[in-house]
Every structure is written in C-alpha cells, then in structure tokens.
Amino acid sequence: MFLTVVKPRNLPAIFIKKTSKAMRGNIVSADGFTIASTAKLYKAVVNTYYIDPQKKDLFVQLFSIYSGIDAKKIKKILNKRKGVVVLSYTISQKRAQYLKKLGLELRRYKVFIPRLNSKNGTRSIHGLSIIESGESRDYPYDTLLTPILGYTHKVEEDGYTKIEGVKGLEKRFEADLDARVDALSQGKRDVNSYIILNKESFTKQQLNGLDLKINIPVSLQIRVEKMLDFMKKKLDAKEVMVCVMDSTNGKVLALASSNRYTPKAIKKSDYSSLNSSMVEYSFEPGSVMKTITFALLLDKGKVNPYDLVNGHNGRYKIGKKTITDEHKFDWLSAENVIVHSSNIGIAQLSQKLTGIEFSTGLRKFGFGTTSTPDLVYEKLGYVPNAMRLNKEIYKATCAYGYGIRVNLMQLIRAYSVFNNNGKMSTPQIIDSFIDEYAREIKIPPYEQFQIIKPSTAQRIKKILIKTVNKGTGVKAITAGLTIGGKTGTAHKVENGKYVQKYNTAFVGFADDKTHKYTIGVVVIEPHKSQFAAQTAVPVFKKTVDILVNESFLKPNIVE
C-alpha cells in the first residue's frame, strides 16, 4: 500500500487539447468558378517498433489501399528506417479521414503491439498517427489568368507549412486571403480521447481567410487567352497583351497575356513571364499619345478641329532633328492630324502648350502615377518635367509618344476619359470579399475624376471613331457597334539607344446601346510587321468579336 501511494505513476492526462489550422481564402471568378484554392495536407507517422512483425504485410496493404500510395513504396520506407517514420507528407484531407479510421481498426486487429518502456516500466502502444502538416495551393485552371493571379511559396511556421503570396493578386491581397483564427477545442476527455463538451470545455471556431471575387469571368478570359496565344505565333511577337474595361465603372472584364505559366510548376523558362506586363512593363507608346496631346489642346481652347496644319510634304525640321511622316501631306485639318497620325502635324500643334501645361496635363491623365490599387510592383513610367517640355523638340517628340514611358493599364485609364464624358475610371479587378458565412462584402467603385470637359471628350470620341472609319484603324471596324481608337508604333530603347525593334499598340473603345468598353492592346516586338494597323488592330478586332460572341456586346444590326 505504501509503494502504491509513493511510487510515481504514468496516468493518462485528464484534459485534452485539439487544434485545427484555419485555411487561406480562395479566389473566385465573376461567373462563380474557383481559380485558386487551398487544401489541407496531412502526414502519416508510424513507429516501426510497435508494428507486429507477423502483421507488417497486412499494415502495408491496408495503408496502401486507404492512402492510394503504392505498397512497394511504403514497404521500402519501412525497411529503410527503424523507429518513427513519416510515410507521407502530402495526404489529402479526405484520405486523412479514412486513415484516421484505419488507425482505430488496426488497433482493434492488434496490428500494433504494446512495448515495455525500460525507463518507467510501463507498457504503451503507438499506432498510426495522422497529423496536420500544412497546406497546398491549387490552381485548377492551370495557366489561366497568370501572371495577374500570381503565385505563392511555402513558409514553415512551428512545423506547419503555410502559404504566402509572392506576386499578383496573391501578394496584393495577402492580408485578406491569409487565415485569421485557428480552431481550438479543450476540456476533459473520455476513455476514447474525445473531448467531453460541458461547461468546463472551451471551443473556438476557426476563421479562414476571406475569399476574393474578381470581376473577370472565366468564360471570357479563356477565349481571350487562346486568341492571344494564336496571335503571338501569327505575329511572331515576344508578347501580346490586352485589357477590356467597362468605361463607366472601371470593372476589368478581361486582362490577359500570351506569356503565362503554371503557378504550381514554375520552370526556369517561365521566369520572364512571372511579371504582370500590364503594369510592370513600361514603354514608349508612340502615336497613341497624340490623342492625349490633342485633348489637352482642345480642352484649353488652343486648337480648333478644323484649323489647317501644314504637312510640309512629309519632312519638318525642329532644330537639328528632322521629323517625318509615313504618308506625305500638304495641308490637313487639325483633327485629321489624329485620323491620319501625322507626327509633323502634332509636333506643330503641341507648341501651343506651355511646358507646365503639357506636363501637368499628362499627369492629370494619370501618367506617371499608379493605375490601379489592385496590382503590385507597378512601374510608373516616366513623364518629362515642365522645364524639359518647354523645349520645342521635347514637346514635339512627347506629343507623338517618344520621351515618355507608360504601361498598358495607364493607357486604358487615360482613354476611358473619351468614352465616359471626360471622367477617368480606375481599373478595378476585385469585385468583393466573401467571409466565412458566405456573406459578400462589395468593394465600392473607385472614385472617378473629371479630367476634361464633357464636350471635349465627345469631340475626341468622334475623332477616334473617324480614325477607325477613315484612318489608321480601319481593320477594327465591326458592323453594328461604335468603334473608335488610335494606333501607336514606337522603336524600342536598348542600352540607351533606339534599335530596330518595335512595340505596337491600339487603344480605343467598343460600344453598343447599353455597354461601353475601353480596350487596349500592346504587342511587344512583332516581327511580322512594325505597324500597329497590321499587329495591334487585328488583336483588338478579335477581342471585340469575342465580346460579341460572349454577349458582352450586342451589335445593332437589322437583318
């Protein structure tokens, strides 16, 4: 009796504590498809010393059936090492439930045998343990929406593998997607190690990260991406990208690049595609800037669309620099400077602006500033300062898109002004957050700013429509829709010098009776042609055709 009282005994714990990790939120498309999700991973652990040698094969066969892992692989792991062995680190949540039940059955069939602990003289059994080991990020649509979607990497936190965003939406909304509160249950336990739920027990529900719902539907995005893949090959281009945005509220309906990757299997050859070129690639835009320059002149009353401008027969000298036009003009109206994309014409008209008016106006149109709060690592480009733009030559070259650097999303935002009565819409990729209880938290539309007078915007819109119908954008014509836009072609700069490589662009709009969309296309280094009319414009036209086929636009055609 004395020994029973004083001898230390290894009694099972009266209380038990169980935790479950909360998970990262999903990313969902506008049409309800999950394009990024998180799955819990479990590890299966067994101590080989507790497996009955006579029933080892039974254990291997049953574990193989329940886990889906080849029996030969399991046997190899068990034979390689003695003691505590991890059979797998990547067991899915569904299979983990099966294996937990298997663990109880294996005990019932006495596959595990008790062992004597030489230190305390007690016998114990260590069976099959299924433990939460981490989480995995899955992308069921493979390369869809990359690089905008971004990718994640693994981070070890107290033996648990967590997921963190590295690029794209995964990075930008890390704080919202990240798991918030882990589940916790603790209290007295019964003989089967289950928590007895009474007033002494405590339970805390897990709160997963918020789901992110975007404005882009999978059905439209897939078709646009396939088209860009085709056009990249056809034009022999380095990259082709396009953005479709609702001009009235800034909602982005498609944002695609021909250069994509699989987020879960990034290869060395994918490194150049990891950046979101729509905001991370800045370039000299060429003639698409003529529209912006003309809008500043028109808004300040410094030019009339019917003013005559001397075309100087295709050659015009400012200081030591000779400005040329692809087509030789004698005289043309100010608005036809845009329609026929005359460098000489816009170079002369731009001189009516002071350096401060030009520089301030460009920044007012959003150049040199963040285009959208929904993306990270944006390259803001470059806008010449007022002092530089006081010089004739810099004023002239900037007017037709040289000496200034922009990105696609900045161009989209700027051109939305002409399709929205002078107000600028900020591109909005995110529609809402969805919480644990399926409640949708809408993100209000981003604030719009009046950039130019509505009358100016209407006049520029008519000029852009004329540019498509009679000028450089004729290949963009679509019967039954109001189409307008401007082409742009510019040499690339490498090591501080212009080289014989080009970027082409076409930015404009496509409207029907109820919808207004701003659409921008950029083609990087097309080898088939250096002209936007033969590269960027056909991509624009195919994008409009897809919008029609997907019922985002309805042509007003009477058969």
Q: What is the pLDDT of residue 10?
A: 61
For tokens 């429509």, name the residue: 465
* Tokens describing residue 404: 């200034």
Q: In what order do the strands lie in the sheet with 183-188?
A: 15-20, 183-188, 202-204
The contacts of residue 138 (CB under 8 Å, 6+ apart) are 36, 37, 38, 39, 264
Q: Which of 112-116, 399-403, 439-443, 504-508 bottoms out in mean pLDDT, i.e. has the lowest?
A: 112-116
Q: What is the pLDDT of residue 70?
A: 94
Name the residue type at position 359: S
Pairing of strands 211-214, 27-28: parallel
Q: Are 289 and 400 in contact (CB under 8 A)?
A: yes
| pLDDT, average across residues 311-331 | 91
Beta-bridged to residue 19, according to DSSP, are 184
| pLDDT, average across residues 111-119 | 80
Distance, CA of 390 to CA of 358 (rounded, Å)? 9
| pLDDT, average across residues 347-354 | 96
Distance, CA of 123 to CA of 108 (rounded, Å)? 17
Q: What is the pLDDT of residue 26?
A: 96
Is the pLDDT confidence value at 558 over 70? no
Q: Are 263 and 270 in contact (CB under 8 A)?
A: no
Is the pLDDT confidence value at 36 over 60? yes
Distance, CA of 362 to CA of 405 (rounded, Å)? 11
Each residue's pLDDT tens digit, 197-232: 887 788 888 899 999 999 999 999 999 999 999 999
- Specify the pTM: 0.88
Confidence of residue 8 (pLDDT cuts 50, 70, 90): low
Is the pLDDT confidence value at 188 over 90? no
Each residue's pLDDT tens digit, 224-254: 999 999 999 999 999 999 999 999 999 999 9
Going from the C-alpha of 433 to that of each of 29, 170, 198, 212, 213, the distances in angstroms are 12, 14, 35, 5, 6
Distance, CA of 427 to CA of 215 (rounded, Å)? 10
Q: Which of 137-146, 192-201, 311-320, 497-506 bottoms out in mean pLDDT, i.e. has the lowest?
A: 192-201
| pLDDT, average across residues 273-297 | 96
Q: What is the pLDDT of residue 430?
A: 97
- Highest mean pLDDT (candidates 72-81, 116-125, 130-139, 249-258): 249-258
Going from the C-alpha of 370 to that of each of 60, 376, 411, 430, 482, the distances in angstroms are 58, 10, 12, 16, 29
Distance, CA of 155 to CA of 162 (rounded, Å)? 5
What is the third-level CATH fold of 218-261+277-549? Beta-lactamase (3.40.710)
Distance, CA of 435 to CA of 253 (rounded, Å)? 23
Q: Element (H or E) spanning 214, and its range?
A: strand 211-214
Q: What is the pLDDT of residue 496?
A: 83
The domains of the chain are located at 14-108+129-214, 218-261+277-549
Given this structure, which CATH class describes domain 14-108+129-214? alpha beta
The closest of 194, 153, 159 to 21, measured between CA atoms, is: 159
Q: Are 498 and 505 in contact (CB under 8 A)?
A: no
